[in-house]
Chain A
Amino acid sequence: MFFALTDEQQAFASTVTEFLAERFDLEAVRGVVEDPAGDGHPLTLWKGLADQGALAVLVPEEHDGLGLGLVDAQVVARALGAGVAPGPWLATVLAAEAVRIAGSAEQQSRWLPALAAGETVGTVALRGEGGAWDGSGITVDATSAEGESTSRLNGSASPVDYPAVAGLIVVAATDASGTPGLYLVEAGASGLTVRDQHTYDGTARVGAVEFADTPAEALPNGDAAAVRALLARGAVLNAADLVGVAREALTRTVAYDRDRNQFGVPVGSFQALKHALADLHVAVTMAEHAVLFAAHALDTDDPGVEIAVAVAGSKASDAAWNATGAMIQFFGGIGFTWEHEAHFFYKRARRRAPLFGSAAEHREALAALTM
């Protein structure tokens, strides 16, 4: 029995964490937050992540990747969440996963090395406004004329991470028979419109992507199962980011409440705070376990993988939601200011919580699986 990270995985986590602390700390994050018109994609950060292999984790070695699994990838996601780091890491990793899972050998050779090196930014467009995150919420249609290898996409997807800087968009679309599939659209394609959506989470940039007879290349193995596999990976890596946010929010809150004095004693000595923080510590720890297990379940095709993903998705978003709300409360007035960093964590948690399925949607999935 070994339910833990290996020494190598822990070292990988430290490398990313230390890099962020030294090269992209909260001041740098603030720079991105306070520049809403900017692309939210600082190149120093991106290059640094690429240098550490953070973009290459899941890419097979034959395509210049590290050939590792989701247990390793969640290490990076957690570190990025803890550092509230901006940038299209998750979007690019998922685009590469789509090509790895469902692409032809040719598509893989063309895209994977570039995505792994960070030369191309990727993103995924897997559902439309108001839709569910299970493949049923797709609002893009794909048609292909007889004998043509290129398909045409019509419709829209939203919210999509970092569409404005993406060179490659992986789009989930349904064909004439209603079957979902995955398609590649390149930046600058005809009929492709990217509309900025301005989220309150300044550590991200999101937009809607709209397609009008946009040429696209189908991923040959991009069937309904591939769409679900991609959504499951998104759910687990997003949950990992949320767990990183939650742990860091809790750690910062505890540190503050140990030092902040009122009534002549540290506020952290009051039992009302202690019990709330203790419960959060348990919840965040359980969410960490759940993300680790779900990542391993995906890596090993565990028969209980669907339950594992839904548990991780719901537990992580609840933990992050609660820990970041508590952060503002237990910092008091300072936690409510723009100057303070609490709102970075709070807003990131709330933007990410509903992505790839909200806590309630994951719970409904669990009910469907067990009832």
Chain B
Amino acid sequence: MDLTYTAEEEQFRQELRTWLAENIPTEWTVPGYWATLSDEESFEKRREWEARKTAAGFSGIQWPVEYGGRGGTPGMKAIYDEETVRAHAPQTVNVLGLTFLAPTIMAIGTEEQKAEIIGPMLRNEVIWCQGFSEPGAGSDLAAVATRGVLDGDEYVVNGQKIWTTNAMHGDKIFTIVRTEAGSEKHKGLSMLLIDMNQPGVEARPLKQMSGASEFGEVFLTDARVPAKDCLGEIGQGWRTAMLLLSFERGASGVGQYTEFRRQYDEIVAEAKRFGRADDPVARQELARCLVELECLRYHAMHILTQVEQGKDLGSESSMTKLQWSEAFQDLWEAFEHVLGPEATLSAPRPDVDLSPFHAQDHWSRSVTIWGGSSQVQRNIVAERVLGLPR
């Protein structure tokens, strides 16, 4: 066991810390600051800030330098995740592009795609959406019905995508489209990179249970996309999608732990303020949450070790997803249980605003659905890790 980072990695931490200290306004560190802004204001502020961060060399930490990245180590990425949370840096606006699309392009994209897509994405000049889910295709992603028909050197695409994060801000969308008429399931699919700024693409916001509209619907009506804007081969969309989804498997647990642990402390502070911190049942419930969060931290170190040793995480990432999403959701259930009726009020006292807590609380219901629901993850663990029959 050696739970330290290298000297070079610690040096990186210092540089990043210094930059963050100079570039995060104090008001951003007030809990719930971002919830006070409109969706639009929040998005634009974050877009601009993140572009500056990129210019300062603090984006694409692990990406090769040739693609505008920093060429750093997995340890540096973990440090980056931890320090940005600590400093109250805002969340990225290009999450789907950065997490999924960019690494897939680096792995299997054409030289032209690499040159045209990655830089503008890092600078937030182009915001990317993920167009996988459809009304009839959620967990069963291979049921997509959106069709693409070749017309000259372009595909003409018709169909509907749903639950599309950043639909109203998106410039481009990577989609799974059935390009082979009459094909079924995993066959005949292609990953088309569609320009959203065209008459055939209409995005409509969907209001979430929290009241925010971070996702929406995308209607494709004779939308046009050049055939060369296919990632991976035509007809191999399933394979491309699986590769793309595998990039969720990283060592992001260190940052998640830092964030959730801070939330734990904030919830404890409220419990104290409302005189609930001495209740033995409340203490048991909160401590139970802490146990799971600490386990997430250890697990993150385990995963980082695997990544550094070049091991394929494979289905183990399903376990990671279950641990962080369930622990996070449980933490917010504890918030409700422990505070009781006061937890339901945005302003239970003149000096208390619980609405940022409600934003997290409501968000916590989504994390066990997207990115492969908990039920789907349990199927994967049971079948591929434990080897139980289908």
Residues of A within 8 A of B (CB): 1-4, 71, 254, 257-258, 265-266, 268-269, 271, 273-275, 277-279, 281-282, 285-287, 289-290, 292-293, 296, 299, 307-308, 311, 314-315, 360, 363-364, 366-367, 370-371
Contact = CB atoms under 8 A, between A and B. Distances in A.
Contacts, number: 137
18 contacts: A1-B301, A3-B305, A4-B1, A4-B302, A258-B387, A275-B378, A277-B388, A278-B322, A278-B379, A278-B385, A282-B319, A290-B291, A292-B298, A293-B298, A307-B290, A366-B291, A370-B268, A371-B286
Contacts of B92: none
B382 A274 contact: yes
B379 A266 contact: no
B287 A366 contact: yes
A55 B100 CA distance: 50
Contacts of A311: 290-291, 294-295
Contact of B283 (A3, A258, A371): A371
B1 A257 contact: no
A1 B272 contact: no
The 6 A-B pairs at the shortest CB distance, nearest first, are namely: A274-B382, A363-B287, A367-B283, A289-B298, A286-B295, A278-B381
Given A3-B1, A4-B305, A289-B299, 20 more contacts: A1-B301, A1-B308, A3-B301, A254-B387, A254-B388, A266-B389, A271-B379, A274-B383, A277-B386, A278-B386, A286-B298, A286-B323, A311-B294, A360-B284, A363-B283, A363-B288, A367-B283, A367-B287, A370-B268, A371-B272
Interface of B is mostly: helix
B5 interface: yes
A266 B277 CA distance: 48
A113 B319 CA distance: 44
Interface of B: 1-5, 75, 78, 264-265, 268, 271-272, 277, 280, 283-284, 286-288, 290-292, 294-295, 298-299, 301-302, 304-305, 308, 319, 322-323, 375, 377-379, 381-383, 385-390
Contacts of A296: 1, 3
Interface of A is mostly: helix
A366 B294 CA distance: 11
Given A258-B388, A274-B379, A2 B294 contact: no
For B280, B295, B302, B305, the residue with the greatest tally of chain A CB atoms inside 10 Å of its CB is: B295
B381 A282 contact: yes
A1 B264 CA distance: 26
B287 A1 contact: no
A308 B294 contact: yes
Contacts of B390: 269
Contacts of B382: 268, 274-275, 277-278
Given A258-B389, A269-B390, A289-B299, A366 B304 contact: no
For B283, B291, B299, B319, the residue with the greatest tally of chain A CB atoms inside 10 Å of its CB is: B291
A370 B290 contact: yes
A212 B75 CA distance: 59
Contact of A269 (B298, B322, B375, B389): B389
Contact of A364 (B271, B283, B383): B283
A85 to B, nearest CB: 25
B375 A275 contact: yes
Contacts of A277: 382, 386, 388
